[in-house]
Amino acid sequence: MAVNPTIARIWRGRTTKARADEYAGYLYEVGIRPLEEKALAVIQLREDRDAESEFITISFWEDVAAMSRFTGADPRQIHHLPRDAEFLIELPRAVQVLNISATKGLFGL
């Protein structure tokens, strides 16, 4: 039986456009791969602008308890990757944790 997500966790970070490709590879290997093993699903988004690129990671979770088992006691607490300070224009201070209210077309629903 498939488990439906009820929670989405959203992280955002910006890097210079010149380092965006390098950061994309690093982010995938160090940040996304572990999420793929624990979250119900993960989406990585990227927007290239004139001087910078923004990355958005959305992970989908069964519930807050499942997310907390991966992130630690407080799922809203930010967890920086070891090299984030090297790549990011500024370190994000928070993530969003949102209740999912509609999922048409996602997760086979």
DSSP label at residue 71:
H
Domains observed in the chain: 7-93 (3.30.70.100)
Distance from C-alpha of 96 to C-alpha of 11, rounded to nearest angstrom: 7
User: Long-range contact list for 82-90, CB < 8 A, 24+ apart?
Assistant: 82/30, 83/26, 83/30, 84/13, 87/15, 87/19, 87/22, 87/23, 87/26, 88/13, 88/14, 88/15, 88/23, 89/14, 89/15, 89/16, 89/52, 90/14
| Tens of pLDDT, residue by residue, the chain (109 residues) | 467 899 999 999 999 999 999 999 999 999 999 999 999 999 999 999 999 999 999 999 999 888 888 877 788 888 899 999 999 999 999 999 999 998 777 655 4
**So what's the pLDDT on residue 109?**
47
